[in-house]
Structure 1
Amino acid sequence: MDNKSKVYTYIATSLDGYIATPEDSLEWLFKVEGEGDNGYSEFYETIDTIIMGRKTYDWLIANEKDNFPYKNKPCYVFSNTLIGKNENVQFINEDVVSFTNKLKISDGGNIWVVGGGDLLHYFIKERLVDEFIITVAPTIIGKGIPLFKEIDFELELRLKNIRRFNQFAELHYELK
């Protein structure tokens, strides 16, 4: 039996494949009529550990103020400049692949790579993501931060599930 943890990406994108505007705005996303929390709470209950990049962490601190959203779970932030930890996160300045593989074989449970095009791209390039849960909003924003950056290989996925949350479509894929 394989007890290895899985790495998930759970993210929303515009219909044309952007996760934010060039100015890092998500206002376009909040204009779409969803259903409840669009499955977020259900997903969050399956996750034990959070990983994010420094840009995502900085965005959260600037926009969520004192309401850090992942207080109840171990949270790691990859950073080249920050070290140590604070009340909410531990800063990691080591190889992403070896750190993630250590987490995957520990008893830490499932891992969520929270947002950030740069870190997600690295996880995809290194084939570290096991499952992709992508919620598509019926909005075309034209330009911004792409969900997927260019890669020089194909990544084959298998569709596990499709769900609808009013105007949102959730696509759930697993790595083949």
Structure 2
Amino acid sequence: MGKIVFDAAVTLNGFLADENHSLQWLFEIDGGDDPDPDLLPSEVKVNVEGANTYLWVLEHENFMEDPSKWQTYYGDQITYVFTHRDLPIPDGADVRLVQGTVEQHLTEIREAAAGGNIWVLGGGELLGQFLDIDALDELALTIAPATVASGAPILPRAIGSDRLKLVEARHSGPFARLRYEVLKQN
């Protein structure tokens, strides 16, 4: 069975996105729009994200106007989007809109991954749901040299150091990279 990995760029003060759900702060950093491929999770078969993350990427990359770009970015990866809204889907993209909790859909998501890794892209509440049910295997953060005044925090929950084991700390250009194994509660 593959791993479930939360991997995201965050501001120095712990935000995934600004108050407008924008990631533009990341793309203003030298190298922010062209990440080191070694920073990205490998063997990903399924992406999981919230509606705000999905909509921002959809708009930022103009996927609705140029759906062929979706294949360039995601290939045959399946994307699950947790939402309560009816959202647009680019032609040819395997995007599955789901409602409810991570716990309700975890078996389906694991089956779709067929032994490959699952990349949780955001947001913080979604990450929290994976942690709540003890389903997250790895927490990887690329910390950017930028701050925002407010926005979407990486994790709107407390998690103790007894749950996180540091497995990597390094720099990549202007970014600091931290990877933690998430220890099971039981």
TM bracket, shorter-chain basis: 0.7 to 0.9
The amino acid across from 1:115 in the alignment is G
| Alpha-carbon distance in 1 for matches of 2:32, 2:13 | 22
Offset of residue 169 of structure 1: 0.6
| Alpha-carbon distance in 2 for matches of 1:58, 1:170 | 26
Is the Cα contact below 8 Å between 1:49 and 1:108 reproduced in 2? Answer: no
Offset of residue 36 of structure 1: 9.1
Dislocated runs of 4+, deviation >4 Å = none
Is the Cα contact below 8 Å between 1:21 and 1:141 reproduced in 2? Answer: yes
| Alpha-carbon distance in 1 for matches of 2:102, 2:21 | 24
Is the Cα contact below 8 Å between 1:34 and 1:165 reproduced in 2? Answer: no
Call closer, same or farther: CA 1:145–1:81 in 2, change over 3 Å: closer
> Per the alignment, in what secondary structure is the counterpart of residue 48 of structure 1?
strand
Is the Cα contact below 8 Å between 1:17 and 1:146 reproduced in 2? Answer: yes
Offset of residue 80 of structure 1: 2.8
2:122 to 110, 115, 121: 115
Is the Cα contact below 8 Å between 2:82 and 2:97 reproduced in 1? Answer: yes
Give identity over the alignment, percent.
29
| Alpha-carbon distance in 2 for matches of 1:28, 1:81 | 26
2:79 to 75, 79, 83: 75
| Alpha-carbon distance in 2 for matches of 1:110, 1:139 | 29
The normalised TM-score by structure 1 is 0.81
Q: CA RMSD in A?
A: 2.8
| Alpha-carbon distance in 1 for matches of 2:140, 2:3 | 13
Offset of residue 22 of structure 1: 0.5
What are structure 2's unaligned runs of at least 5 residues?
Answer: 64-68
| Alpha-carbon distance in 1 for matches of 2:96, 2:32 | 33
| Alpha-carbon distance in 2 for matches of 1:100, 1:135 | 26
2:44 to 31, 35, 47: 47
Is the Cα contact below 8 Å between 1:38 and 1:165 reproduced in 2? Answer: no
Cross-structure match for 1:97: 103
Offset of residue 102 of structure 1: 4.2
Structure 1 residues 38-47 or 52-61, which shifts more? 38-47
Offset of residue 160 of structure 1: 0.7
| Alpha-carbon distance in 1 for matches of 2:133, 2:35 | 29
Cross-structure match for 1:5: 2
The amino acid across from 1:93 in the alignment is Q
1:19 aligns to 2:2 (yes or no): no
1:129 aligns to 2:133 (yes or no): no
Offset of residue 82 of structure 1: 3.5
**Deviation by residue 1:100-134 (Cα, 9 ceiling, x = unmatched):** 24433662411001122232222223332110110
Call closer, same or farther: CA 1:34–1:163 in 2, change over 3 Å: farther
